Amino acid sequence: MSSVIALRRAALVLVAAAGFFLLTHAHAQAQWWKRAPVDFEECADAAEKAATKSEKTSALADCNAKFAGRRKAGGGYSYYDFLQDRTFDIAGPNPTPEEQKKIDAAYTAYLAKERGSNEAAEAAARQQREQQELQARQLQQVALRTDVARVPVPVERPKVQQTVGQRPKGACTKGSFSCEWPRLSESLNDLKKLFNPTPSKPAKKG
């Protein structure tokens, strides 16, 4: 009986060991199929198999954060820098430190070029404003000269030549003493002639 029990125990140990081996092997195979994705495309394919839409969206965001590069049709990967609106060729799914230095250097050159373009545009706009202001001043000066030419120059009134002792015409007001006195003086002289006739000279005796 003891030998039978010993054999049964040995058999149970073998079965348990075989079961553990099979489970370990199956788990290893499952881990191989669930290995980490190597690039964005592989990660995105796995994300598409998510059970819900929210899980799929979260998985795709995680893929985008892990992998900056995208597969190229002819092999290799490309990296898109939205700051420069430019694509760079890279060897793997993410830029290497050396590749990242080149991308940063290109961005520095891009900024310098943009700054130069902006300064040139500002200089051109400033020059155009100055020309417009100069033209406006010139037009204003022409308009002022034209207005001055249209205003008539005042002409000096001709001087009335007066004889000595002659009263200028229109120099007195009708009915005033200065205008009536010459006529009164002539009337008085006529009266004096009537009352005081001039004596005639005696005729010379022959």
Q: What is the pLDDT of residues 152-187, one digit of tens each?
A: 666 666 665 555 555 555 556 666 666 666 666 777
pLDDT tens for 14-53 read 544 544 544 444 444 444 446 789 999 999 999 999 889 9
Q: What pTM value is reported for the model?
A: 0.44
Question: Cα 111 vs. chain centroid, distance in angstroms?
Answer: 19
- Pick from 59, 57, 58: nearest CA to 46: 59
- Residue 78 neighbours by CB under 8 Å, 6+ apart: 69, 70, 72, 87, 88, 89, 90
Per-residue confidence at 56, pLDDT binned at 50, 70, 90?
Answer: very high
Compute the half-sphere exposure of residue 168: CA atoms within 13 Å on the CB side of its CA.
6
**Dist CA 128 CA 133 (whole Å):** 9
Q: Of the ranges 28-42, 54-68, 83-97, 98-112, which one carries the lowest mean pLDDT score?
A: 28-42
Separation in Å, CA 54 to CA 47, 49, 60, 65, 66: 11, 12, 10, 17, 19
